[in-house]
Amino acid sequence: MSTSVTQRSALEGQTGGQMKREAKLFVPDRVFFEPAALDYPLGKELYQRYQAEGVPIAMTTSHNQVRGIPGETDVEKYRNAKRTLVVGVRRTLTFEPSKPSAEYALPLATGCTAHCHYCYLNTNIGSRPYVRVYVNTDEIFQRAARYMEERKPAITRFEAACTSDPLAIEHITGNLQRAIRFFADQPYGRLRFVTKFHHVDPLLDVPHNKHTRFRFSMNADYVITHFEPGTSSFAQRLEAAEKVARAGYPLGFIIAPLYRFDGWEEGYSQLLENLRAKLSPEAMEDLTFELIQHRFTKVAKNLILKRYPKTRLEMDETKRKYKWGKYGKGKYVYPNEQAQALRAHLEREIGRLFPQARIEYFT
């Protein structure tokens, strides 16, 4: 599938003004299957589906080592990888921690269909940007049940969007529906996920028992326009949030990355005022916010500049503070004074417009 001139300019960072967004459902250009995936009902279903639709299918020995994705340049290979679906079995069932969002990550998928320039997946899955989905959900849920058993009577939270935007591929797998139904029956477990997409209709009638918090990633118009190609518009996300709230899900917003651009104070105030103007009272009954400042690693910066060579994303290490992380690795964040200015402004505006909401963390 070719990339149009309009799409290409958005991917490279040549956006100017409000970019038109369609955010159509993801349809892969090619699909790879691990042989073991065909031993599971979902794997068989997907194989038969794509075979019937005439989508090119190939086999791969491992979802971690996929070869044969076309492309002559790094940019072409990257874009083609983002249009590639890999169907596999999640063999590593030791869940990663997911602080501060949750106790554990719930591994339903890896890789994302969107093209957000700043995405931390450029570091986490840098050389394997294709979209992987896992078909052994029963085994994944059984492992989650063990974690809950070990921690009860404490509530254990699981984040389903650590390495993917699961809503972007829900029409393919149905894994979010399975997870929501599973956690609805768990007295000591809660599910959380975040999305930049609006395709929520298949989830509205799923029994959830208020055990799943549905969050939307929102940002100032400047950030969405320049750095979030391939995602739903702000208006689409906001409309979807209203649907979710009417369906009884606890609702949240992640404002990330908090990014300092000319006029950022006004931009973020306008974002929050737009939310306040459009959200119904029922949407604000149990509302949370999560605030995450922009950060990048050296690995991510190098990959971002290769993949989006005309991006306007500011990544000057001399203007940042180096923050050490786990395993001896670190990232570049805003200096303390700038970070505190972001935090103070967002907390003040949220307090003004959403006095009943809870800010879960700033990082």
Which pLDDT belongs to residue 23? Answer: 74
pTM recorded for the entire structure: 0.91
Which pLDDT belongs to residue 7? Answer: 39
As given in the structure block, the two tokens for residue 176 are: 């979010």
Which pLDDT belongs to residue 125? Answer: 73
Q: What digits encode the pLDDT tens for the residues 213-247? A: 999 999 999 999 999 999 999 999 999 999 999 99
Helix, strand or coil for residue 175?
helix
Which pLDDT belongs to residue 348? Answer: 98
Three-point CA angle 293, 227, 260, nearest 5° = 40
Q: List, run by run, the mean pLDDT of 10-residue segments along the chain (363 residues).
A: 37 42 85 98 98 97 89 91 96 95 97 93 79 98 98 98 96 98 98 98 98 98 96 96 96 98 98 95 94 94 92 97 81 97 98 97 96
Which pLDDT belongs to residue 24? Answer: 86
Q: Which residue, among 283, 207, 204, has the nearest Cα to 238 in the 3D structure?
A: 283
CA distance 256 to 362: 10
Q: What digits encode the pLDDT tens for the residues 119-132? A: 988 776 767 899 99
What structural domains does the chain harbor?
28-83 (3.40.50.12110), 90-362 (3.80.30.30)
In sequence order, what DSSP letters do the residues of 245-285 get, joined into one string? HHTT--EEEEEEEE---TTHHHHHHHHHHHHHHH--GGGGT
Q: What is the largest CA-CA distance in the chain?
A: 57
Q: Which residue, among 192, 160, 229, has the nearest Cα to 8 in the 3D structure?
A: 229
Which pLDDT belongs to residue 325? Answer: 76
Helix, strand or coil for residue 46?
helix
Residue 67, φ and ψ in degrees, nearest 5: -120, 155
Which pLDDT belongs to residue 282? Answer: 87
Strands 330-333 and 321-324 come out as: antiparallel
Which pLDDT belongs to residue 327? Answer: 61
As given in the structure block, the two tokens for residue 260 are: 């300092």
CA distance 108 to 111: 10
Which pLDDT belongs to residue 18? Answer: 40
